Amino acid sequence: MNRQLNLTLQYRYNHLELPHVLKDVRKKPLWDIKQDHVYFVGFRISAKAGDIYHHAMIIADDVDAFFDGIAGEYNAIMDLYLVTFHSAITLVFLRNLMMTAPDVIAAAEQLDLTAEIKECLSKRNDDLFSVFGMIGESLMCQIQINEKNGLLAIEAARKKARQLYGEELMLLEVCQAHPIRHEFDAMFAEEAKRFNSLLDDDSVGSGCVH
């Protein structure tokens, strides 16, 4: 059944969540947390009774730690929801907390990348993902990938970025062209507001995750 996750928004899709635990999988844990180390991720779980959705927050200081966090979340979902196969779980949404930084937002809009992302996601296509990120410290790019799972889309986008730019892609956002993104948008906004309030000026950093 649909569950009201906050006081103002009633969601169309079924959302379940594990006990709220922030997964810190950094290789070098520090007291201070950098903004670009924080990821909001959303999953679709295919069940006999219909699709359900789950979200989590992961803190990772490099790409290997990030994938370790995703693997851990897959295992947690399988244990709690009694999911038998990994294939029943699909990553459909990812957003880095850097997407709330004014300079990142302004740069994306100035380059018309925000409009490109909206156009890519404007019509439902479960086999299409928009992958948005940074190359180095300043170059932004948006890559459209035809895949059924966000993890495969990430892998393909990272490979394409290396081919085009010779550098690694820092992930900022991954979205499936599916209406569920609007609900994850709203959830991310709530989590980001809550999390940013915990970060003081000294702990918010802008280093890139590779």
Q: How far is CA 177 from the centre of its chain?
A: 14
In this structure, what token pair is assigned to residue 50? 């219909």
Q: Read off the pTM.
A: 0.87
pLDDT digits (tens, 9 = 90+) for 133-168: 999 888 999 999 999 999 999 999 999 999 999 999
The pairing of strands 52-59 and 23-24 is parallel
How confident is the model at residue 145, as a pLDDT?
A: 97
**DSSP one-letter code for 136:** T
Mean pLDDT within 159-178: 95
User: Phi, psi at residue 197, to the nearest 5°?
Assistant: -70, -20
Q: For the chain, what is the total number of helices (H) and then of strands (E)?
A: 5, 7
Percent of the chain whose predicted confidence (pLDDT) is above 90: 61
The values of phi and psi at residue 46, to 5°, are -85, 120
